[in-house]
Amino acid sequence: MKHALIAVAAVMLFAAGAPAGDAPAKAVRDDSAAEKLGFKLGLQCYTFRAITFFETVDKAAAMGIKYLEIYPGQKLKPGSNLTTSAGMSDDVIAEIKQKLKDAGGLKVVCYGVAGVPNDEAQARKLFDWAKKMGIEVLVTETTPTPMHDKLCQEYGIRMALHNHPATWPPDKVLAACKGLSPMIGSCSDTGHWMRANMNPVENLKKLEGRIISLHFKDLNKFGADKEPPGGPHDVPWGTGKGDVRAMLSELKRQGFKGYFSIEYEHGGVEDLLKNVPKCVEFFDKVCAELAG
């Protein structure tokens, strides 16, 4: 109950906002239960694709989120034409790290969804850049090879196969990972499973031992990927048909340790500022129950 009350306070603080012109204050959030489980809640920056990366960092900090997944193409900051992408210069990397520090010590831990080159020399360039950034997981739809596995082990960076509705279903992931190390596995997008009429809990069970990270979602219904209002869309966790509580319980059973990226793709920025904190609150509440 203590964890839940703190989580509610954090959401209320975030919703209250900061004075005009000021960066949002960092939320008072207790994520100790989640961290005890090894569940690390992050934000896929694509959620706030309508604004810049630097502004997204402030939004994440205001919600008490410590981990970020960047994607290729987000505008870096207001007034700049630079975007987040692999191969950013050392000066830009240093600027990003300073921004993360100033916002309270956030970390960029994942990158994707983006291709991983099949040529070793080109792949090394990506891994070198990821290492400089502190990235731990490359989220991709590239079919893994022994060369990729070698680089993952050499750099200590994992490669996670992301599923859109028609790509990388669990059986395909397991087949592609056969004979490869545990450094390669699944970035399980629970919302896209729902769009493909796949049960998220059953898919998590099938992928046991190969789940590296998640694009964690709850949708209002199962079914084909169509634009709202007719098609399925994101809703605050615990209010949809995905059974988020059962997903978290299953991942605890598996002993999963890793990143959950909030990727909330429905609504504008004002909607996101109302609904994403509700996901954080529900996650913390369930983690407190699971951690005992």
The pLDDT value recorded for residue 227 is 62
The pLDDT value recorded for residue 178 is 98
The pLDDT value recorded for residue 32 is 97
- Report, as ranges of residue numbers, the positions in the chain whose pLDDT lies below 70: 1-27, 225-229
Query: In angstroms, what is the C-alpha Rg of the chain?
Result: 18
What span, in angstroms and rounded, lies between the C-alpha atoms of 235 and 61? 21
Calculate the alpha carbon distances from 292 to 3, 229, 277 in Å.
Answer: 11, 39, 23
What span, in angstroms and rounded, lies between the C-alpha atoms of 92 and 4? 38
The pLDDT value recorded for residue 7 is 44
HSE-CB for 291 with a 13 A CA cutoff: 19
User: Are residues 200 and 193 in contact, defined by beta-carbon separation less than 8 angstroms?
Assistant: yes
What H or E segment, with its residue span, contains residue 25? none
User: Are residues 72 and 114 in contact, defined by beta-carbon separation less than 8 angstroms?
Assistant: yes
Write the single-letter amino acid at 146: P
Q: Is the peptide bond before 113 cis (omega within 30 degrees of 0)?
A: yes
Q: Environment class of residue 229 by beta-carbon count within 10 Å: exposed (0-12), middle (13-18) or buried (19+)?
A: exposed
Closest CA to 232 of 197, 281, 273: 197
Calculate the alpha carbon distances from 245 to 77, 237, 240, 241 in Å.
Answer: 36, 9, 11, 11
The pLDDT value recorded for residue 224 is 83
What span, in angstroms and rounded, lies between the C-alpha atoms of 124 and 236? 39
pLDDT digits (tens, 9 = 90+) for 169-186: 999 999 999 999 999 999
What span, in angstroms and rounded, lies between the C-alpha atoms of 125 and 201? 36
Q: Environment class of residue 92 by beta-carbon count within 10 Å: exposed (0-12), middle (13-18) or buried (19+)?
A: middle
Calculate the alpha carbon distances from 269 to 9, 96, 161, 183 in Å.
Answer: 21, 22, 28, 35
Q: What are the residue boundaries of the structural domains of the chain, listed by start?
A: 2-291
The pLDDT value recorded for residue 243 is 98
Q: What is the mean pLDDT of the chain?
A: 92
Q: Which CATH class is domain 2-291?
A: alpha beta
Burial track 192-216 (b if 16+ CB lie within 10 A, e otherwise):
bbbbbebbbbebbebbeebbbbbbb
The number of angstroms, rounded, from the C-alpha of 142 to the middle of its chain's C-alpha atoms is 18
The number of angstroms, rounded, from the C-alpha of 41 to the middle of its chain's C-alpha atoms is 7
